[in-house]
Amino acid sequence: MAWSRRAVLVAAAASCLGLASASCGGSHGGTYTTVTAGATPGTNGAIDPLPSWNTGPTKKRILDFVTAATNEGSASFVKLEDRMATFDNDGTLWPEKPVVEGVFVLDRAAAMVQRDPSLREKQPFSSMLPADRPNIERDGKAAFLELFVATHTGMTDEAFAEEARSFLKTARHPRFGVPYTDLAYQPMVELLRYLRQNGFTTYVCSGGDTDFMRQFTPQMYGIPPQQVIGSTVQKSFVMENGRSGLFRKSALASLNDKDQKPVNIDRQIGKRPLVAAGNVRSAGDVAMLEYSGSRPPPSLGIVITHDDAEREFAYEEPDNATRTAAREHGFLLVSMKKDWARVFGPSVTR
């Protein structure tokens, strides 16, 4: 398939799946009390739990919030059982250009057509043909959702997990040339560790398929499968050769995007998050951020802005909905360019 047609559908994935550098130094203005994995000494001899974050008001606000929320003598103290943190994935924890699961969908669709050429004449696969390109551009989101279901169903959970792992093992980012699983944002990995060291339970809450994300969140972010909230397909219990399993039916159960995120957070966690993090792209995280922000104080909403074309990408929302919500509700806007000393881990020199 020509890249231009792939780009249209991957862009549709961004909509469907919720999608969307100075050196460190100086004092952060507070006292670090927790040592996290990967932490480094600060200039004042204290341990810096966020070494990939530049010193400044953004980093200080995060540190001050966690210190206050975990200090029993603080008016902002939050009990251990209420320290929940939810993080979007695409564009918040790893890049969303391209949307990784969008690439997976297209690769799976191409493989399915190769195995069964008759699929080429059927929707949604026929939308990938050059003659139907106007339909892709016109009906990109609908076409992608159909492809999403077609490529994610008709098999057991175990078979799907194997397909996802195989893709993640071999696929490479077109710009950075490394496995997608090497592209976790280093500052966010440090933040996740720092929160867990301070008694927070961390969750991924993103538009990607739950079982797709479960294949990489433990290794990339330290988040186990049971703490992944994503889109889901309908499933049924089956017995095959004396062994039980779950079969993925050809129907979407829940698209975990926008207003559905708080619904699924409540369903899985049963509490409003103390910390919620999303990014500027499609306003897909605003409802989750507002849901967290409406809990009794304190709360911390974090919005990652993509403004570093040199080290990652630079883009905005057409309507600035997420930035507007951040200003109205006091969410913390994080600039990749200004606030992050580095973007990725050691496999990418940026």
- The percentage of residues in the chain with a pLDDT greater than 90, rounded to a whole number, is 79
The pairing of beta strand 201-209 with beta strand 228-240: parallel
Split at pLDDT 50, 70, 90, the class of 349 is: confident
Q: Where are the alpha helices (DSSP H) in 133-209?
A: 133-138, 140-152, 157-170, 186-197
Q: What is the pLDDT of residues 244-261, one digit of tens each?
A: 999 999 999 999 999 999
Confidence of residue 126 (pLDDT cuts 50, 70, 90): confident
Residue-wise pLDDT tens digits, 233-246 = 999 999 989 999 99
* Residue where the block lists tokens 């008694």: 199
| Distance (Å, whole) CA 86 – CA 88 | 7
Stretch 274-301: mean pLDDT, rounded?
97
Share of the chain above pLDDT 70, in %: 83
Using the 8-state DSSP alphabet, how is residue 24 labeled? P
Structure tokens at 139: 């009906």
Give the span between the Cα atoms of 325 and 200, in whole angstroms.
25
Quick: pLDDT tens for 64-119: 999 999 999 999 999 999 999 999 999 999 999 999 999 999 999 999 999 999 99
The answer to whether residues 248 and 222 touch, using CB atoms and an 8 Å cutoff, is no
Q: Does the pLDDT of residue 10 top 70, yes or no?
A: no
By the 8 A CB rule, do 160 and 211 touch? yes
Q: Is 284 exposed, middle or buried (0-12, 13-18, 19+ CB in 10 A)?
A: buried
Measured CA to CA, the distance from residue 128 to residue 134 in angstroms comes to: 10
Report the largest interatomic distance among the alpha carbons of the chain, rounded to a whole angstrom: 68
Average pLDDT over the chain reads: 89
- Residue-level pLDDT at 136: 52
Which three-class secondary structure state does DSSP give residue 280? Answer: coil
Query: Which of 332, 333, 330 minimizes the C-alpha distance to 294?
Result: 330
Domains of the chain: 3-18+98-154 (no CATH), 40-95+184-231+254-339 (3.40.50.1000)
- pLDDT tier, 13 (very low <50, low <70, confident <90, very high otherwise): low
Q: Which amino acid does the sequence have at 123?
A: Q
Confidence at 57, pLDDT banded by 50, 70, 90: very high
Residue 129: pLDDT band with limits 50, 70, 90: low
Q: What's the token pair of residue 63?
A: 């540190």
Structure confidence by residue, pLDDT tens digits, 41-51: 554 567 999 99
Q: What is the pLDDT of residue 316?
A: 96
pLDDT of residue 37: 44
Query: With 60 as the cut, is the pLDDT of residue 8 above it?
Result: no
Angle between helices 100-115 and 3-16 (to 10 degrees): 120
Mean pLDDT of all residues in 146-150: 95
- pLDDT of amino acid 101: 97
d(CA 111, CA 218): 28
Q: Pick from 345, 340, 284, 255: which is nearest to 86 by CA?
A: 284
Answer whether the bond into residue 117 is a cis peptide, omega within 30°.
Answer: no
Token pair 């077609």 is at which residue?
Answer: 150
Joined tokens for residue 135: 């339909």
Q: 19-28, 112-121, 200-209, 267-276: lowest mean pLDDT where?
A: 19-28
pLDDT surpasses 60 at 133 = no
Question: Which residues, at least 6 apart from 187, have a Cβ–Cβ distance to it below 8 Å?
Answer: 50, 52, 53, 339, 340, 341, 342, 343
pLDDT in tens, 292-348: 999 999 999 999 999 999 999 999 999 999 999 999 999 999 999 999 999 999 999
Q: In which band, very low, low, confident or very high, does the pLDDT at 33 lie, cut at 50, 70 and 90? A: very low
Question: Is residue 40's pLDDT more than 80?
Answer: no
Q: How confident is the model at residue 199, as a pLDDT?
A: 99
What DSSP string runs through 284-295? Answer: TTHHHHHHHHTS
* Range 69-73, long-range pairs (CB < 8 A, 24+ positions): 69/198, 69/274, 69/298, 70/198, 70/199
CB 284 within 8 A of CB 275: no
Where b means 16+ CB within 10 Å and e means fewer, 264-278 reads: bbeeebeebbbbbbb
Please tell me the distance from the alpha carbon of residue 192 to that of residue 188, in angstroms, as a whole number: 6
32 vs 72, which has greater pLDDT? 72
Max avg pLDDT among 40-44, 121-125, 278-282: 278-282
- What span, in angstroms and rounded, lies between the C-alpha atoms of 305 and 340? 11
Q: Give the span between the Cα atoms of 93 and 183, in whole angstroms.
A: 9
DSSP 347: T
Structure tokens that stand for 147 in this block: 């492809």
